[in-house]
Structure 1
Amino acid sequence: MLNTTFRLALLVALSFVPSLALAQSATPGSSLKKDILYRSEEGLDDYAKKQCRLDVHYPNTKGFATVVWFHGGGLTGGDKAIPQYMRDQGYAVVSANYRHNPQVNAPVYIEDAAAAVAWTFENIESFGGDPEKIFVSGHSAGGYLTSMVTLDKRWLAAHKIDADRIAGAIPHSGHTITHFTVRKERGIDRLKVVVDDLAPLNHVRKDAPPLLLTTGDRNMEMTGRYEENAYLWRMFKEAGHPDCKLRELEGFNHGNMVQPAALLMKTFVEAHSSGK
C-alpha cells in the first residue's frame, strides 16, 4: 500500500497535471493520426471495420517509447481515447478500439487487442518510434486485455510476434481471473471465481516482460480487484520473475485511479526505456 506521505505527494502532483497537459497539448511538439484500420484481412464485416481502428498521438522526435492503450468498459462498451494527462509525456500513445460483447464473444476481444499491438510493432517506426520500446497498458477491461496479450504468448504468435518483445506491461485495475463478461457469456455467476486459459493468472511465467500492476484502494475498488492483483503479484514472485511490482493507490476508487496510475506508468516507461 502507498504510505501517507507518498499519497499526499501524489495528490499535490496531480493538482498540476491537468493544466500542464493542456498547455503542452497546445504546442507544436506532437502529432495525432486518427481512425487507422489495424486489421486489414479479407472478410471483415462492417462492425469489425468500424471497431478495429486506433489513434496515434506521438512526439515529433525520433526513437521514442510507445504505450499501446486499451480502454475500459467491461468488454461491453467504451471508446478509444487518449487522456489529456497521457499526452506529451515523452512517449507515444496508440489508443485502440476493439469489438464488444454482445456483438462478439471471447476470445475476439483478445484477438483484436493482439492485432493492435502487432500493428504497433510493424508500424511505429514509420512515426519515429522505437519498436523495441513498446509498452502495453489499459484500464479495467483494458487492463485485462493488457495482461492477456502480454502473458499468453499465443495471441501475438498468431501475428508472428514474440510477446517477450513487449518492453513492459502496465495493467491498471484489470481482472487477473477470467473476466466477468467472459463468465457471463458462459452462464457463470459473477461471484464464481474461474481461472482458466482466459485468465491472466493461468499464464504466470518467469520470463514474462516487466510488469507494473496498479489498483485503487482495496476498500474502494471493484469487488476483489486488489486481492486478485495481489495474488498475481505473489505468483510472479513465486515463479522467480525479477521485475513485477504492485501499487495500491490509497484513497482512489476504480474509476479515478487511472490518472495517478499514469504518473507511476510514466516513471516505469522511462526506467524500462533507458537501457534500450
Structure 2
Amino acid sequence: MNLKFSVFFLLLSFQLLAQQYKEVKDIQYYENPTSEYMEKQSRLDIHFPDSDNNKKYPVIVWFHGGGLTGGGKEIPQELKNKEVVVVGVGYRLAPKIKAEETIEDATAAIAWVFKNIEKYHGNTEEIFISGHSAGGYLALMVIMNKENLAQYDIEANAVAGLIPFSGHTITHFTIRDQQGIPGTQAIVDKWAPLFYVRNDAPPILLITGDREMEMLGRYEENAYFYRMMKVAGQKEIDLYEMNGYGHNMVYPALPLLLKFVKEKSDQ
C-alpha cells in the first residue's frame, strides 16, 4: 500500500474513532404546562456525546441573556463537541409574565436536568450552571436560594459549580422596573442573589466584562458579591474581569467556563 493510501486510511480510522455528537431540541421540562405560553417557551435543547459505552460526561446548563424580556434558548457553538453535555434552556419572558417568574422556569429546567440527563450520557454529579447576563442572574438565583430546588427534592449544593457571565447580583433591573424602581437605584431583596450569601455554596466563578466597559455597575455588583461570600466563609469562589471586553464578553470567556468544568470534574 503506497503512502497516499496509508495516510487516507489512517485519517479515516481517526474519524471513525472520533467522538460523535447528537442534538435533541424542544424538550418540554414541565410535566404539566399551565398555559399555552408556558408550553411554548419552557423547553430546552441538548447537545451530547453519542457514545455506546457507559461513560458519563460533565453537564453545562446554559441560560441565555436578554434582560428577562428577550432572547431565546441557545447552545453556544464554542461549547459543542467538547466532551460535555450542554443544555440550552428557554424560559418565559416579561412582560407576558412577572419577571421574577423566570426563576420558576430556570428552577424547573435544572430539576429536569437532574432527573433526566443520564439518558443523554450526562453525569448528575457534575452539573454546572451557567449563563450570560439575565441568564447569569437566573443561574445565581436558583442555586443561591436553596428553597428553589428544594421544591423538587433536590439539594442546591449538589450542583458541581456555578459560573455566571455578567449576571446581576442585586435585584434584576427588569424586576425593579416592573415595580417602578429606576435602574440606578440598587435593591437587595429576596430577588437578589446577594440576599442569599452563605458559606456552603458550590464552587463559583464570577466572570464580568471590563469594569469601565460593562453595563452600569455590573463588575462592582459581582465584586461585592465576591467579597461578601468570602467574608461569610465561602472557600471556592473567584472573580475574573475580562479586560478590554464589555458586557458582550461571552465568546472570549467560554474557554474559562470549559477550563473550570474540566478542573472541577477531574477532582
After superposition, the C-alpha distances for 1:10-57 in whole angstroms (9 at most, x for unaligned) are xxxxxxxxxxxxxx9xx761110000000122x521100000000000
2:170 is the counterpart of 1:177: yes
Aligned positions of 1:47-126 closer than 5 A: 47-61=37-51, 62-126=55-119
CA distance in 2, matches of 1:72, 1:106: 13
CA distance in 2, matches of 1:210, 1:28: 29
Partner of 1:163 in structure 2?
Answer: 156
Partner of 1:39 in structure 2?
Answer: 30
Q: Secondary structure in 1 aligned to 2:65?
A: coil
Q: Secondary structure in 2 aligned to 1:135?
A: strand
Larger radius of gyration: 2
Q: Which 4+ runs in 1 deviate beyond 2 A?
A: none
CA distance in 2, matches of 1:30, 1:259: 21
Q: Secondary structure in 2 aligned to 1:107?
A: helix
Q: Secondary structure in 2 aligned to 1:183?
A: helix
Match of 2:255 among 246, 263, 267: 263
Partner of 1:18 in structure 2?
Answer: none
Q: Secondary structure in 1 aligned to 2:163?
A: strand
Letter in 1 for 2:92: R
Aligned positions of 1:99-248 closer than 5 A: 99-248=92-241
The structure, 1 or 2, with the larger RCO (C-alpha pairs under 8 Å, 6+ apart) is 1
Tell me by how many angstroms 1:83 deviates.
1.3
Letter in 1 for 2:184: L
Tell me by how many angstroms 1:141 deviates.
0.1
Tell me by how many angstroms 1:259 deviates.
1.3
CA distance in 1, matches of 2:87, 2:76: 11
CA distance in 2, matches of 1:260, 1:106: 29
CA distance in 2, matches of 1:242, 1:29: 37
CA distance in 1, matches of 2:264, 2:110: 18
Matched residue count = 248
After superposition, the C-alpha distances for 1:209-243 in whole angstroms (9 at most, x for unaligned) are 00000000111100100000000010111011110
Structure 1: unaligned runs, 5 residues or longer: 1-23
Q: Secondary structure in 1 aligned to 2:110?
A: helix
**CA RMSD for the aligned pairs?**
1.2
Query: Percent identity of the aligned residues?
Result: 52
With 60-69 and 212-221 compared, the bigger mean Cα shift is at: 60-69
Q: Secondary structure in 2 aligned to 1:93?
A: strand
TM-score scaled by structure 2? 0.91
